[in-house]
Amino acid sequence: MPSSLQIQRINPINPTSSAAAAKQSKATWICPVSADIEAPENVMEHHTRLMAANQCCSAVMQEIAAPIDTVWSVVRRFDEPQVYKHFLKSCQVIFGDGDVGTLREVRVISGLPAATSIERLEILDDEKRVMSFSVVGGDHRLHNYRSVTTLHANAPPPPSPLSGGGESGGTVVVESYMVDVPEGNTREETCAFVDTIVKCNLQSLAQIAQNLARKEK
């Protein structure tokens, strides 16, 4: 199954709505994930955020031609995000043992407007396959950044004369985030920047998981 990527964003920003939003003091509940994604409601609730006027959010979806357990084995490694997040140079766990509350310090490759990021593991649910982390420090401009990644199994393809059936289904990965809009930037600029990074990360994840799946056969 070929991989594909789709970016879904709600509330497109224009100068008028942006100016109006800046005047709002009340936060609103937002879910940036496409309604086309079929997943249990209690899982999709993780992607629903209380977003303030100075924040933005978005979501990226990636289909991966690999079993969900294979994909999850890569995603769940909070201590080794650089395996598929190629904008990261290194990662060191500075507190905790991998459970919720664990802190890691990641170093970013040169060329990006950041040097380090200190991140806290917020959710690690092996049963529902949900992972979430928040940025709590470091040298960067993405303040109050929080990411949630969920995995959802795709149904296996129907049997064909060539395959004979028995093929495993693939995986849909949904990663959403919310972050403060840096001073001097717009919501559109912020989302475009972060979307690009998340998109590259998930495409890399797809390649790695699909290679692992081939080795497991």
Residue 11, domain member (yes or no): no
Distance of CA 137 to the CA centre of its chain: 19
Residue 31, domain member (yes or no): no
Residue 200, domain member (yes or no): yes
Number of structural domains in the chain: 1
Residue-by-residue pLDDT tens, the chain, 217 positions: 444 455 444 443 333 344 444 444 567 888 888 777 777 777 788 999 899 999 999 999 999 999 999 999 999 999 999 999 999 999 999 999 999 999 999 999 987 888 999 999 999 999 999 999 999 999 999 999 999 999 999 877 666 555 555 567 899 999 999 999 999 999 999 999 999 999 999 999 999 999 999 998 7
What end-to-end distance do the CA atoms of the chain give, in Å?
16
Residue 129: give its domain's CATH number.
3.30.530.20
- For the full predicted model, state whether its pTM sits above 0.85: no
Distance of CA 130 to the CA centre of its chain: 10
Residue 15, domain member (yes or no): no
111 token code pair: 């060329």
Residue 39, domain member (yes or no): no
Residue 1, domain member (yes or no): no
Residue 164, domain member (yes or no): no
Structural domain that includes position 174? 50-154+169-216
